Amino acid sequence: DAGVIQSPRHEVTEMGQEVTLRCKPISGHDYLFWYRQTMMRGLELLIYFNNNVPIDDSGMPEDRFSAKMPNASFSTLKIQPSEPRDSAVYFCASSLNTGELFFGEGSRLTVL
Amino acid sequence: KNEVEQSPQNLTAQEGEFITINCSYSVGISALHWLQQHPGGGIVSLFMLSSGKKKHGRLIATINIQEKHSSLHITASHPRDSAVYICASHMNRDDKIIFGKGTRLHILP
């Protein structure tokens, strides 16, 4: 398996634009997590899915953020409208049951 | 509310030294993860443990459930061990994972 695949690796956009980040988990994994990492706050859990169902989205900062998992092999994290304070590295991770975490390489977002 | 505290925040050591990074958490957990993040950003899972001790090469992780404490040890440290090491607790009552702020390790040649 190729591991967890995220795209894009880098995104630079202007304030107010919509941003969509994508994640393909490892085949067979039933948990998918979206995290955000900043210098100030470290790694923060935004939302996680179990069997494609969102379980806890209490970490999603505000209504501008939304996440979907239409099937077991694909998830998106959308920010609309984006703001400069959303600049961060967004990681997706997957696991089987609640076992070892496998992280994607991250999507570095810069909002100007 | 579960809090995960790591110490030290930063650690610089000479090549060959024995390294210990500590992690404390405040509520019952089902498992604890140790992660490694190199400059450039990729995050790799080193260990997941719920009791006792695990060893992989020069890395050893221990956990004491009663004391709510875990340690990551690196024997015969090497400059390539320079990275940020992150402890994360998997809470008992749900599947949430809470992260520590990380320990930045720098091994000098």
pLDDT in tens, A12-42: 999 999 999 999 999 999 999 999 999 888 8
Q: Give the phi and the psi of residue A86 in degrees, each rounded to 5.
A: -80, -5
d(CA A1, CA B37): 21
Distance from CA of A47 to the nearest CA of B (A): 9
Better-scored residue on pLDDT, B1 or B50: B50
Mutation target vs B (from A43, A50, A55, A107; most B CBs, 10 A cutoff): A43
The pLDDT of residue B1 is 62
Looking at every residue in chain A, the average pLDDT score rounds to 94
Distance from CA of B95 to the nearest CA of A (A): 7
List, for residues A38-54, the tens digit of each pLDDT value. 988 888 999 999 999 99
Map residue B80 onto helix, strand or coil: helix
The pLDDT of residue B40 is 76
Q: Do B101 and A42 touch (CB under 8 A)?
A: yes
What share of chain B in percent tops pLDDT 70?
94
Reply yes or no on whether the pLDDT at A1 is more than 70.
no
Q: Do B95 and A105 touch (CB under 8 A)?
A: no
Q: Do A105 and B48 touch (CB under 8 A)?
A: no
Note whether A68 and A52 are within 8 A (CB). no
Q: How far is CA A109 from CA A12, B17, B41, B86, in A?
A: 6, 37, 13, 22
Chain A residues within an 8 Å CB radius of B35? 101, 103
Chain B residues within an 8 Å CB radius of A55? 94-95
The pLDDT of residue B42 is 86
Place of tokens 């939304």: A66
